[in-house]
Amino acid sequence: MILAPRALLLACFCAAPLAAQTPAGSPGTRRFVDPAPPRSVPPARLSTAVRPAPNPEVTFHAAPRPLRAGAKVSDWPTFLGPSYNMVSPETALRHDFAPGTMQPCWEMRKGEGFAAPVVAGDRVVLFHRVGNEEVIDCLEASSGRRFWQSRQPTSYRDRYGYNSGPRASPVIAGDRVITFGAEGRLRCLALADGQVLWQRDLAAEFSLRQNFFGVGASPLVHGHRVIVVLGAPGGPAVAAFHLETGALLWGAETSWGAGYAAPVPHVLHGRERVLIFAGGESKPPTGGLLCLDPEDGRVDFRFPWRGKRYESVNAAAPVVSGSRVLVSECYGSGAALVESEAGGGVRTVWTNPNFGIHFMTALVIGGHVYGVHGHGPQDAELVCVSLATGHEVWRTQPLWRETLPGARGAREITAGTFRSWLVQVDGGVLCLGEFGHLLWLDLSPAGCRILARTWLFAATETWTPPALSRGLIYICQNTPDRDQGTTARLLCYDLRGTD
């Protein structure tokens, strides 16, 4: 989930963590009654796939190159990619950005919101807001032609007057698509044709208060469960709904509010678990890391970790390495690495108040963690810390001079990566910068080297992570590029390498 800059001014850099010691484990489960089980469409009524049709919102430029022989490819069906950690198994990508070569295969006008596209097979799903409707577009991956579109009225208004589109990215789970709108509507649609299979108004059913920028944590589909961060007053903080029927399966935790970090599944000590970094605005401030059993919602442990300000938020997804979990926030507490214990408890390994990640997901590479510290853009720095000790190895803010063309003539500016996203793939790291740059980086304890760089568009708020599938990368331009006359767009670029 992506936040907005106005609330960042409210943050306090001197805030301290809520708890410096390891909390005790807690069963943390109670039975919640389903307030409004939805009517679901029986599987027998699911229709066959529709064919893609011309899309009036799309400008098609060129077909992508064929995949290289032997290239490994993957879907990108969730917010954080196929392994929930911004790591892709794809290979045979292009690593050069010669001038003029990174032109889009196609582009589509998009509405408001920071939800990331997701990809499965030949389908891309985008969730955005156009006018007073939340829109789900299912597009052909290589051309942008439209398979189907689903629209639903929305009256959500961001109370900061900032952006009223969805923050939570959709999920493709087999033959279904799950979306979670800014005002709390959870919907399940058929991937084949967009038929609504079930839907719930969770804000009304669970008396949710509007949190910061509305609902923003992307759902997790784990087996037959759709796990969402609710933050309902008095609980549940987290809930699981049946993928096929939408019925409530369990609720967990009663005291922590909703954050914006996506739930992450992992196997800890041979047991499937879900890790949730909860905690939004609350008085007194509460939130932190929850470790749940996805079968019944039982809480293995709670680790309080949140800035002390009322208006702060936990937005960066937990990062898992073996039995250790990294959490980080940029409103004062910074980062903590904890060790999960076989008996269900947790202990603190280290803390680092100077490694405070806003919303991106850090990468663990070869015993070190790489992430973007700070609220940004001016204080957004790329940092390397030791995974073993938490000690800082280096800190840098990649900057360079750029010529910005425009209707009133070209001008020189200082550009940089700032609040960026990192993707580990094909032996390197792709970086999507805040102002529309795409880079290949070499990250190591020795430092950060820029191997290749291109400027895709000159627009602000490029805070949505890219999606990479079958050698094609999908990038959201969230604001207009007024110098070039472009609107907010979803763009598809060809990253396939040549033989």
pLDDT digits (tens, 9 = 90+) for 78-106: 999 999 999 999 999 999 998 888 999 99
Give the range among 311-315, 370-374, 431-435 with minimum mean pLDDT. Answer: 311-315
Cβ atoms of residues 418 and 400 within 8 Å: no
pLDDT-above-70 percentage for the chain: 93
Residues ≥6 apart with Cβ < 8 Å to 79:
116, 118, 168, 169, 171, 218, 262, 465
Per-residue pLDDT at 31: 86
Q: What is the pLDDT of residues 323-357, one digit of tens each?
A: 999 999 999 999 999 999 998 899 999 999 999 99
Q: Which residue has the higher pLDDT, 108 or 211?
A: 108
Alpha-carbon distance of 258 to 79, in angstroms, equals 18
Q: Residues in the chain, how many?
A: 499
Q: What is the mean pLDDT of residues 403-408?
A: 78
Query: Is 70 exceeded by the pLDDT of residue 302?
Result: yes
Per-residue pLDDT at 285: 81
Q: Which residue has the higher pLDDT, 156 or 53?
A: 53
Q: What is the pLDDT of residues 113-130, one digit of tens each?
A: 999 999 999 999 999 999
The DSSP output letter for 87 is B
Q: What is the mean pLDDT of residues 412-427?
A: 96
Query: Is 70 exceeded by the pLDDT of residue 9?
Result: no
The DSSP output letter for 43 is G
Reduce the DSSP state of residue 45 to 3 states and report it. Answer: helix
Q: What is the pLDDT of residues 166-178, one digit of tens each?
A: 999 999 999 999 9
Per-residue pLDDT at 44: 53
- Amino acid sitting at position 385: V
Per-residue pLDDT at 472: 98
Per-residue pLDDT at 410: 85
Give the range among 149-158, 180-189, 347-356, 464-473 with minimum mean pLDDT. Answer: 149-158
CA contacts within 13 A on the Cβ side of 370:
28
pLDDT-based confidence at residue 139 (cuts at 50, 70, 90): very high
Per-residue pLDDT at 187: 98
pTM score? 0.93
Per-residue pLDDT at 266: 97
Query: Is 50 exceeded by the pLDDT of residue 182?
Result: yes
Phi, psi (5° rounding) for residue 204? Answer: -70, -40
The DSSP output letter for 7 is H
| Structural domains of the chain in order of their starting residue, each with its CATH number | 5-17+62-494 (2.130.10.10)
Query: Is 90 exceeded by the pLDDT of residue 262?
Result: yes
Q: What is the mean pLDDT of residues 260-280?
A: 95
Per-residue pLDDT at 34: 96
Alpha-carbon distance of 269 to 340, in angstroms, equals 8
Q: What is the pLDDT of residues 14-55, one digit of tens each?
A: 333 333 333 333 444 578 999 999 998 876 555 567 899 999
Taking all residues of the chain, what is their mean pLDDT, rounded to a whole number? 90
Q: What is the mean pLDDT of residues 470-478?
A: 98
Per-residue pLDDT at 47: 59
The three-point CA angle 386-427-101 to 5° equals 125
Q: What is the mean pLDDT of residues 218-246?
A: 96
Question: Comparing C-alpha atoms, which of 153, 118, 167, 166 is closest to residue 138?
Answer: 118
Per-residue pLDDT at 392: 98
Per-residue pLDDT at 3: 47
327: enclosing H helix or E strand: strand 324-329
pLDDT-based confidence at residue 222 (cuts at 50, 70, 90): very high
Alpha-carbon distance of 154 to 164, in angstroms, equals 10
Per-residue pLDDT at 19: 34
Query: Is 80 exceeded by the pLDDT of residue 375?
Result: yes
Per-residue pLDDT at 48: 64
Per-residue pLDDT at 446: 98
**Max Cα distance, the chain (Å):** 66
Beta bridge partners of 214: 212
The residue with tokens 């604001």 is: 479
> How far from 122 is each of 107, 110, 143, 472, CA to CA, in Å?
16, 20, 10, 11
Per-residue pLDDT at 25: 37
pLDDT-above-90 percentage for the chain: 77
Per-residue pLDDT at 17: 33
